[in-house]
């Protein structure tokens, strides 16, 4: 469908179809993913700003799983074709449309538990987020918080400090680096945070720039070490960033949920430190362990959400 003007909403809308190399299921639970996507719904909605112009990309799926996604890009001005291309490239990246899942397929042939996880979740993906700051801020908010409490806090944050989309007041642009760097402890407490407010308030503009730099550090282990030098960022947040932003799957996250999954599926009782955890993971899965672990997490997740909080 071509470009058309929707007079009633005073926006321009362009409908485009995206194809995936492998089948994909947008309804897969997105617990560790940061995006404006309601729980277990089959769409992916994102707000972007380019050249002072807001855009909304609404990605949906009429049949799940499938290789076809429908994207509607909206703005209140005529679209710049180069911006549309950039948005589509971003969606391809965030939704993993070009991933091959080679490591996951290889391990599924050797491990029945992984094979079952893949079979139980056709169209499985790690959904990512191209905005490094968004991942870090919302990951910090999520720690030691139940999933649904986290969703409420995240919504409060974006609603309070993000720019509203004029033609859809329910949507907001994620707060800018400038806004985040200038927020005080009291500002963070307004959204319902307690002790984490002081850590988020300590983030400076330099810290935010460094976060984006270290997420793509050539040697990932050094990048993780650099990230952890930023006050308030520990192993969990740093690894979330490299996995769910940078799509670098060498160092998976570790929290109470991961421990429960490993205990349930492999009888692992726990790890005293991250070195022991990484050694076990490295021996178990030599390639893309974060991707493989996420597949197991996805398979175990529904029962977990009914009974536990996660860090």
pLDDT at 32: 64
Residue 80's pLDDT band (boundaries 50, 70, 90)?
Answer: confident
Buried b (16+ CB within 10 A) or exposed e, 61-73: beeebeeebebeb
Q: Which residues pair with 243 in a beta bridge?
A: none
% of the chain with per-residue pLDDT over 90: 76
DSSP string, 276-295: HHHHHHHHH-SS-HHHHHHH
Cβ-based burial of 149 (10 A; exposed 0-12, middle 13-18, buried ≥19): middle
% of the chain with per-residue pLDDT over 70: 90
pLDDT at 40: 53
Nearest alpha-carbon partner for 173 in 201, 202, 131? 131
pLDDT at 42: 79
Write down the H helix ranges in 42-184.
81-95, 102-110, 112-120, 132-142, 147-161, 177-181
Bigger pLDDT: 1 vs 233: 233
Dihedral sign of CA atoms 89, 94, 97, 100 in order: positive
The mean per-residue pLDDT over the stretch 78-100 comes to 94
Residue 28's pLDDT band (boundaries 50, 70, 90)?
Answer: confident
pLDDT at 6: 45
The mean per-residue pLDDT over the stretch 124-129 comes to 92
The mean per-residue pLDDT over the stretch 208-232 comes to 94
Q: Model-level pTM?
A: 0.90
Residue 142's pLDDT band (boundaries 50, 70, 90)?
Answer: confident
Per-residue pLDDT for 7 more than 70?
no
- CA 193 → CA 33, 140, 185, 231, distances in Å? 20, 11, 9, 17
Bigger pLDDT: 37 vs 15: 15
The Cα 214–Cα 230 span in angstroms is 11
The Cα 253–Cα 238 span in angstroms is 9
Residue 306's pLDDT band (boundaries 50, 70, 90)?
Answer: very low
Cβ-based burial of 112 (10 A; exposed 0-12, middle 13-18, buried ≥19): exposed
Bigger pLDDT: 32 vs 226: 226
The Cα 40–Cα 296 span in angstroms is 17
Domains of the chain: 4-98 (3.30.310), 132-244 (1.10.340.30)
Buried b (16+ CB within 10 A) or exposed e, 211-228: beebbebeebeebbebbb
Per-residue pLDDT for 189 more than 60?
yes
Residue 41's pLDDT band (boundaries 50, 70, 90)?
Answer: low
Residue 305's pLDDT band (boundaries 50, 70, 90)?
Answer: low
């Amino acid at each position: 469908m071509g470009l058309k003007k929707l007079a009633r909403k005073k926006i321009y809308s362009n409908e485009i179809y995206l194809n995936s190399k492998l089948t994909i299921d947008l309804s897969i639970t997105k617990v560790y993913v940061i995006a404006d996507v309601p729980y277990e719904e089959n769409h992916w909605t994102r707000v972007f700003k380019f050249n002072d112009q807001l855009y909304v990309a609404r990605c949906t799926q009429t049949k799940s799983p499938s290789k076809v996604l429908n994207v509607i890009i909206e703005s209140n001005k005529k679209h710049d074709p180069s911006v549309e291309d950039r948005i589509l490239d971003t969606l391809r990246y965030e939704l993993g449309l070009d991933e091959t899942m080679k490591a996951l397929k290889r391990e599924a042939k050797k491990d029945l538990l992984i094979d079952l996880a893949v079979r139980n979740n056709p169209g499985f993906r790690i959904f990512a987020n191209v905005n490094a700051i968004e991942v870090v801020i919302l990951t910090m908010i999520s720690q030691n918080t139940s999933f649904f409490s986290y969703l409420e806090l995240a919504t409060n944050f974006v609603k309070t400090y993000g720019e509203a989309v004029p033609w859809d007041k329910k949507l907001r642009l994620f707060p800018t680096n400038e806004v985040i760097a200038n927020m005080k402890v009291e500002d963070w407490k307004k959204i319902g945070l307690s002790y984490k407010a002081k850590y988020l308030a300590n983030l400076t503009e330099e810290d935010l720039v460094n976060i984006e730099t270290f997420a793509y550090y050539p040697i990932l282990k050094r990048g993780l070490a650099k990230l952890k030098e930023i006050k308030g960022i520990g192993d969990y947040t740093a690894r979330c960033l490299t996995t769910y932003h940078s799509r670098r799957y060498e160092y998976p996250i570790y929290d109470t949920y991961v421990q429960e999954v490993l205990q349930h599926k492999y009888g692992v009782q726990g790890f005293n430190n991250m070195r022991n955890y990484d050694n076990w993971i490295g021996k178990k899965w030599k390639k893309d362990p974060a991707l493989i672990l996420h597949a197991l997490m996805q398979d175990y997740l529904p029962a977990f959400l009914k009974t536990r909080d996660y860090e």
